[in-house]
Structure 1
Amino acid sequence: MKYLGCIAGVFAASMAAAETPELVVYTYDSFVSDWGPGPAVETAFEAECACDLKFVGAGDGAALLARIKLEGARTDADVVLGLDTNLTAAAMETELFAPHSVSAEYSLPIAWDDANFVPYDWGYFAFVHRTGVEAPTSLKALGESDLKIVIQDPRSSTPGLGLLMWVKAAYGDEAPMVWESLSDNIVTVTKGWSEAYGLFLEGEADMALSYTTSPAYHLIAEEDAGFAAAAFDEGHYLQVEVAGKLASSDQPELADQFLAFMVGEAFQTIIPTTNWMYPAVTPEAGLPTGFETLVTPIKSLLVPAADAPAIRDAALAEWLTALSK
């Protein structure tokens, strides 16, 4: 009887598990790390959805799109979280993404009306350094200095692609000369942000390509005021990170629920002190103490999403040529 009762219990548990819907979200590795937003977001959403939220780390932001292209309509993903406006046009060319119905009062620096992608945070790219370093005041000045930097590969990383677009947006036809000057400063090019920032923290470089918000992590989480982002005269490139629903999802209603949750108070409150970016919708309590100390760019640079693919191809060729010399 005990044996039969055990079988019945296992069967009931299996049935309950089978009835629990699963939502698969592809994202970048740092989002799902122990110190990233993933664990807190998973707990908060599962408390509302009666589902199993499964985050899958897929490298860095730009690597997400490459994986989705490879998997096509057979992908297990219901949602992709971690693309940005430099990639949304290329993502739409795949015809793998479906429209959303989310509306929100965004606190972005730009107007938002994209029918297929929902923003969840934003920030400005910057070179982060320790406060003892005499920081340059422009990309050109950085290239003329002896400072050693680590950057990310634009083919796999959204910060790496952001730097490509930053140089192109700021300097146009002069971009190849800027890259040629910067090439001597580059210690290494990493696949993703985590590797590059880790090398910087280990002392392998004077500066790392990151965000104006990165010093907030050190200040708030580590109580260390010894980091800063260099303010550049030509301005800083804006990144808006987004998520989108896959047209092939077998959980379309649950995917819609997640996207709506993503711009809500619970998710947006998590972002500033886990992803260390500005939330797309400012929480009722505002930003954490320490964010008021961050660099505010004198100029915001951004290539329109529709123009990004063509400009990316030209900028990537210039970058590869400069680094091969």
Structure 2
Amino acid sequence: MKALALAATTTLAATAAVADTPELVVYTYDSFVSDWGPGPQIEAAFEETCGCDLKFVGNGDGAALLARLKLEGARSEADLVLGLDTGLIAAAKETGLFSETEVSADYALPIEWTDSTFAPYDWGYFAFVHNTYLTPPANFRALGESDVKIVIQDPRSSTPGLGLLMWVKDAYGDEAPAIWEGLADNVVTVTKGWSEAYGLFLEGEADMVLSYTTSPAYHIIAEEDETKAAAVFDEGHYMQIEVVGRLAGSDQPELAADFMRFMVSDAAQSILPTTNWMYPAVMPSGGLPKGFEALVKPENARLIPADEAPAIRDEALAEWLGALSQ
């Protein structure tokens, strides 16, 4: 009887401990929480210090996160969202679902960061990745005139897809519709997210895929494969700065703020370059991993200010849909 009583007491104590452990829910994109992504390492590192249960919830690609939040509204179970970017910040703020959070860091970004709602955790340049045996076109016009086949992502669900729209629109303005008409025949398919598109490229379904100038670092470092490269375009390259933000309806507001500060800490920033394969928002104490020095560095960086992005995005999306539906 005493053994049974002791077992029951132990079980009750363990159950109570689990019940007392706060849970922090973070919505993010699928590749972040994959086995090879940063999610598992970030989760383990944060849980070492937070006394909490960090739960990542994958939801397609970056742009799909905002769509889900709009659908769920204040009912969302998320405490934070990780994976929006500067192209979506204004639209995210318009929902009224996010709370200002003080996060201070010595950012190593190409631009000054002053936003008080979102904290940047990594950044990169969009680019078309190809096999090194291919001589890539030098700009969008040349790409449209070529027979090179490309895979891109849907701007309605994917931040790279949206970044491509902004890249073309920023570079060509009123001529953007003509550029898209030229590119329409080059597009093999449009995927919902980055993972699907990159997978099709690796399977040989296309000559080039919309990705990042940092993507070849994965092949160089993880696979010792130097057969992938990023094409440098004359128009320059559009930047992406990925951010994390806290929801106003979070029932763990202080813990959520702690997570945002953790994401710009050396512990997190040192994980990101070789798991998310992007540049860290704050330079890690050990610097960038060997292999990053081999990456191309665009001379002309493009980025539409966050507050101007919504209007430009709507116009660019209409142009894109018009060209690809013909």
TM-score over 0.5 (shorter chain):
yes
Q: How does 1:1-325 map to 2 (within 5 A)?
A: 1=1, 2-325=3-326
3-state SS in 2 of match to 1:24:
strand
Distance in 1 (CA, whole Å) between partners of 2:14 and 2:72 is: 32
Instruction: Give 3-state SS (helix, strand or coil) of 2:244's partner.
Output: strand
**One-letter code aligned to 1:276:** W
Any idea what SS the aligned residue of 1:304 has? coil
Contact 1:128 1:230 in 2 (8 A): yes
Q: What is the one-letter code of the residue matched to 1:79?
A: L
1:135 is aligned with what amino acid? Answer: P
Contact persistence 1:107–1:281 (CA under 8 A) = yes
Shift of 1:254: 0.1
Report the residue type matching 1:108 in the other structure.
L
Instruction: Report the alpha carbon displacement of residue 8 of structure 1 after superposing the two structures with TM.
Output: 1.4
Query: Structure 2: where are the runs of 5+ without partners?
Result: none
Please report how far the alpha carbon of residue 4 of structure 1 lies from its aligned counterpart in structure 2 after TM superposition: 2.3
Distance in 2, Cα, partners of 1:111 & 1:145: 38
Deviating above 6 A after TM superposition, structure 1's stretches of 4 or more consecutive aligned residues are none
User: Could you state the TM-score of these two structures normalised by the residue count of structure 2?
Assistant: 0.99
Counterparts of 2:114 and 2:169, CA distance in 1: 25
If the length of structure 1 is used for normalisation, what is the TM-score?
0.99
The 3-state SS of whatever aligns with 2:54 is strand
Provide the secondary structure at the position in 2 that maps to 1:306: coil
**CA distance, structure 2, for counterparts of residue 75 and residue 287 of structure 1:** 36
Q: Residue 14 of structure 1 aligns to which amino acid in structure 2?
A: T
Contact 1:168–1:315 under 8 Å retained in 2: yes
How much does 1:10 deviate?
1.3
Count of residues in Structure 1 that have an aligned counterpart in Structure 2: 325
Deviation per CA, 1:227-276: give whole Å up to 9, x if none. 00000010000000000000000000000100011100000000000000
Question: How far apart, CA to CA, are the structure 2 residues paired with 1:181 and 1:298?
Answer: 25
Q: Give the whole-Å Cα distance in 1 for the aligned partners of 2:188 and 2:168.
A: 18
Give distance in 2, aligned partners of 1:141 and 1:158: 24
CA distance in 1, matches of 2:163, 2:195: 15
Deviations 1:271-317 (CA, angstroms, capped at 9, x unpaired): 00000000000001110011011111120011110010100000000
User: C-alpha offsets along residues 37-89 of structure 1, whole Å, 9 cap, x if unaligned?
Assistant: 00000000000101110000011000000001111111110000000000000
Structure 1: which amino acid aligns with 2:297? Answer: T
**What is the CA distance between 1:151 and its match in structure 2?**
0.2
Q: Partners of 2:8 and 2:142 in 1: how far apart?
A: 71
- Residue 208 of structure 1: SS of its match in structure 2? strand
What amino acid does structure 2 have at the position aligned with 1:38? G
3-state secondary structure, aligned to 2:226 = coil
Asked if the contact 1:97/1:245 (under 8 Å) is kept, the reply is yes
Query: Which residue type is aligned with residue 215 of structure 2?
Result: S
Write the letter of the residue equivalent to 1:36. G
Code of the aligned partner of 2:186:
N
Letter in 1 for 2:57: V
The answer to whether the 8 A contact 1:233-1:298 is kept is no
Equivalent AA in structure 2 for residue 211 of structure 1: Y
Q: Deviations over 1:193-252 (max 9, x none)?
A: 000000000000000000000000000000000000000010000000000000000000
- Cα distance in 1 between the residues matched to 2:144 and 2:305: 27
Tell me the distance in 2 between the aligned counterparts of 1:263 and 1:305: 21
Structure 1 residue 5, shift from structure 2 partner: 2.1
Q: Secondary structure at the match of 1:239?
A: strand
Distance in 2 separating the partners of 1:285 and 1:246: 32
Whichever residue aligns with residue 282 of structure 1, its letter is M
2:287 partner amino acid: G
Query: How far apart, CA to CA, are the structure 2 residues paired with 1:298 and 1:135?
Result: 18
Structure 1, unaligned runs of 5 or more: none
Counterpart amino acid of 1:26? Y
